[in-house]
DNA sequence: CTGATTTCTTGAACTAGTTCAAGATTTTGA
DNA sequence: TCAAAATCTTGAACTAGTTCAAGAAATCAG
């Protein structure tokens, strides 16, 4: 069940079979159905979620324009609300399954114990976080230097899987514009 | 000279005096004058910069709208181009001093050696990166849920130091709009 | 298989923020 | 101390993307 996670970790740091065993004791595996929530606004986020099978989105409800999606995750991606996780404050965002999903949870309150037992996991997360930060900076770059149309084509080119699996109006939300606008872009392309 | 850095590290992990000595051997201290570059587009970014005294910006040249600033740093902030640093590819961005600046460099190629010598620094960077990622997610949130006007007031409220130290047109760039627009916002407030 | 729900499309009126251009003010370096 | 450079302001014309409204198409649960 945790094979995905073990392999993902091995891309960055060594991990023996004994260490796999230890890790497994610190991790909880869960299932959610499509549309169920891994985290709801108001709850304090308790951990980091690794998607084993399925697809999720993280979003907040903004009074102005309904839901604003800020992150997607599919197989082998981590997803969480760092704001809530770090500050121990109630989350302002929701994490929801877009398909029936199996995921692993690493709870915040056991994380340091795990790092003490398997020190190179501290390194693994350092590397993962650095990659996530790189991606976040790149995202800001694209938001500011590309038009909506360019951003849509760029995203569709970079993540064709998402365009398949996720409704277009959610991609519109993630990219920061309206579903109507995405429709108009596509209409243009056919012509 | 490295007192700032040592204290910053101690906010997150313990650090003995012997470890300070070791760390100091891995770090290089540099000075740049206002307007000089810590990193220029085209160079491969070689390390992570910690601002001891001064103020810098990171930006790329976009053909569409001139310079796009994606990060500022003042005393006790780290700044680098993770995209270039991580992929070992020529940077598309520039890091420039906005004041005469003293900074510490941790070079990529000695970083692992340092972590081996002082393991809790791996943890320090994990924590720092998590905070940076949180900030980056928050930034995307604000970009998408607030109007330009709200974003300006929010930024000015959260980072009054920057509004003092950095020209307004650079803040406009960082927030993703034009200097003219920021002028109009301020004109409105006075009225 | 079928009605209900979810997702996608289209068009017309609209607005937040841009662009261009020019002048005013502030800061800087020699 | 003063000219040059950098920064900030203002107004008028403009545009990328929104909003609203309504219908069409696709998907889903029972």
Per-residue pLDDT reduced to its tens digit, A107-139: 999 999 999 999 999 999 999 999 999 999 999
Interface contact A70-B141, CB threshold 8 A: yes
State which residue of chain A sits closest to B120, comparing Cα positions.
Answer: A122
Closest residue (CA) to C1' of nucleotide C27 is B167
Residue A77 has which token pair? 């991606």
Task: Tell whether B45 is covered by a domain.
Answer: yes
* Cα of A59 to nearest chain B Cα, Å: 9
Looking at residue B63, what is its pLDDT? 72
Of A71, A119, A132, the CB nearest to B119: A119
Average pLDDT over residues B143-151: 92
Between helix B120-145 and helix A120-145 the angle, nearest 10°, is 30
What mean pLDDT is reported for chain B?
94
Of A60, A129, A176, the CB nearest to B130: A129
Cβ(B165)–Cβ(B98) under 8 Å? yes
Q: Taking the C-alpha atoms of B159, A142, A135 and A101 in order, what is their torsion angle to the nearest 10 degrees?
A: 110
Looking at residue B161, what is its pLDDT? 85
Task: Tell whether B97 is covered by a domain.
Answer: yes
Which residues of B fall below an 8 Å CB-CB distance to A? 60, 62, 64-65, 68, 70-71, 82-83, 86, 115, 119, 122-123, 125-126, 129-134, 136-141, 143-145, 176
Q: Is the pLDDT of residue B56 over 70?
A: yes
Task: Tell whether A28 is covered by a domain.
Answer: yes
Q: What is the DSSP letter of B44?
A: B
Task: Tell whether A154 is covered by a domain.
Answer: no
Show the domain range for B69: 3-120
Q: What is the CATH number of the domain that holds A115?
A: 2.60.120.10
pLDDT digit string, tens, across residues A19-66 = 999 999 999 999 999 999 999 999 999 999 999 999 999 999 877 778
Q: Is the pLDDT of residue A191 over 80?
A: no
Nucleotide nearest to A166 (CA to C1'): C7
The total number of structural domains that make up chain B: 1
Looking at residue B1, what is its pLDDT? 84
Of the residues A129, A138, A170, A177, the best mutation for testing chain B's interface (the one with the most B CB atoms within 10 Å of its CB) is A129
Does residue B34 approach strand D to less than 7 Å at its CB? no
Q: Is the pLDDT of residue B191 over 70?
A: no
Task: Tell whether A73 is covered by a domain.
Answer: yes
Looking at residue B174, what is its pLDDT? 96
Looking at residue B189, what is its pLDDT? 66
Least confident of A75-79, A186-190, B160-164: A186-190
Q: Is the pLDDT of residue A1 over 90?
A: no
State which residue of chain A sits closest to B174, comparing Cα positions.
Answer: A144
For residue B118, the chain A residues in CB contact (below 8 A) are none
Average pLDDT over residues B31-49: 96
Strand order through the sheet with B78-79: B27-32, B101-107, B47-53, B78-79
Angle at A100 between CA A97 and CA A105, to 5 degrees: 65
Looking at residue A62, what is its pLDDT? 77
| Contacts of A115 by beta carbon, 8 Å cutoff, 6+ apart | A121, A122, B123
Q: Taking Cα atoms as reference points, which of A87, A22, A156 lies closest to residue B135?
A: A87
**E strand segments, B75-153:** 78-79, 93-97, 101-107
For residue A108, is it left (φ>0), alpha (ψ between -120 and 50) or beta? Answer: alpha
**More confidently predicted of B188 and A53:** A53
Q: Is the pLDDT of residue A190 over 80?
A: no
Strand order through the sheet with A93-97: A37-39, A93-97, A55-62, A66-74
Task: Tell whether A60 is covered by a domain.
Answer: yes
Task: Tell whether B137 is covered by a domain.
Answer: no
């Amino acid at each position: 069940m945790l094979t995905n996670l073990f392999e993902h970790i091995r891309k960055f740091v060594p991990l023996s079979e004994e260490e796999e065993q230890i890790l497994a004791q610190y991790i909880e595996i869960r299932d959610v159905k499509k549309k169920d929530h891994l985290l709801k606004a108001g709850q304090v986020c308790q951990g980091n979620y690794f998607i084993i099978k399925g697809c999720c989105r993280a979003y907040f409800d903004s009074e102005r324009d309904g839901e604003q999606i800020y992150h997607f995750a599919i197989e082998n991606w981590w997803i969480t609300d760092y704001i809530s996780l770090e500050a121990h404050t109630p989350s302002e965002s929701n994490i929801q399954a877009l398909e029936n999903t199996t995921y692993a949870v690493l709870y915040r309150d056991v994380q340091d114990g795990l790092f003490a037992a398997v020190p190179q996991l501290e390194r693994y997360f350092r590397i993962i976080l650095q990659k996530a930060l790189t991606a976040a900076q790149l995202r800001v770059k694209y938001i500011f230097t590309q038009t909506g149309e360019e951003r849509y084509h760029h995203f569709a080119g970079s993540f064709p899987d998402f365009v398949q699996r996720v409704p277009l109006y959610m991609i519109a939300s993630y990219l920061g514009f309206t579903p109507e606008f995405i429709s108009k872009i596509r209409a243009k392309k056919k012509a």
